[in-house]
Structure 1
C-alpha cells in the first residue's frame, strides 16, 4: 500500500449548538486539515497521486468555507460544525472528487482537523 498526505489551512468562525460553555458563542479558529490518501497501484509516472492534484482537489472545499461562518453553510446549518464533523466533511468532499478522478484507484484513508495546535479530530471509514 502507498499513502500520500497533504496539509492545508483555513480560517473560519463557528459556534456549537446544544453546548454549554464558551464554544456556544461565535468564535473563530485557524484550522489545519490533513488529508491522507491510500492505494495499491501507482500511475504510469510512479505516483499514487500528484501532490499538486490533491491540493487542487482540496482548494474548492477550502475556498467554500475559508473566512466564513460555518453555521451559515450547508451542511452545518443543521449539523454542528464541530471538528469531528469538519473532518467528515473533508473526507466526504475529497472522496467524491477522487473517485471521479482516479476511477477508484486512490481512496481517502483519513482526514484530520486541527482546531488548535493541540486538539485534533480524525474521520476515517
Structure 2
C-alpha cells in the first residue's frame, strides 16, 4: 500500500453556533489541511498521484474558504457548524469525489486532517 500527503493553508473566520464559550464569537484561524491518499498501484511514472494534481484537486476548496467568514458559505451557513471536525469532513468529501473521477477509483482519500491552531487538529476518515 502506498500513501502520499499534501498540505495546504488558508485563513478564515468563523464562529460556533450552539456553543458557550469564546468560540461563539466571530474569530479567525490560519488553518492547515493535510489530505492523505492511499492506493495499491502506482501509475506509469511510478507515482500514486502527482503532488501537483492533488494540490489542484484541493485548490478550489481552499480558495472557496480562504479569507471568508465560513458561516456565510454553504454548507456552513445553515445547520452545519464550521467546527474543525466538520471542516475536515468537508475537505474529505470534496477531495474524494474529484479523485474518484480522476483516477477511476485507483486512489482514494485515506483521511483529511485540519489544524485550527499549531496544537489543535481534527481528522476525518471513513
Which TM-score tier does this pair reach, normalised by the shorter chain?
over 0.9
Give the equivalent residue in structure 2 for 1:76.
Answer: 76
Aligned to 2:120: 119
- The Cα of 1:45 is off from its aligned counterpart by 0.8
Once the two structures are TM-superposed, the CA of residue 123 in structure 1 deviates from its matched residue by 0.1
TM-score if structure 2 supplies the norm length?
0.98
TM-score, length-scaled by structure 1: 0.99
**Secondary structure of the corresponding residue to residue 10 of structure 1:** strand
Partners of 1:62 and 1:120 lie apart in 2 by: 17
Indicate the residue corresponding to 1:51 in structure 2.
Answer: 51
RMSD: 0.4
Q: Secondary structure at the match of 2:116?
A: strand
Poorly superposed stretches of 4+, deviation over 4 Å: none
Number of aligned residues: 125
Give, in whole Å, the separation in 1 of the partners of 2:93 and 2:50. Answer: 20
1:93 alignment counterpart: 94
**What 5-or-longer segments of structure 2 have no aligned partner?**
none
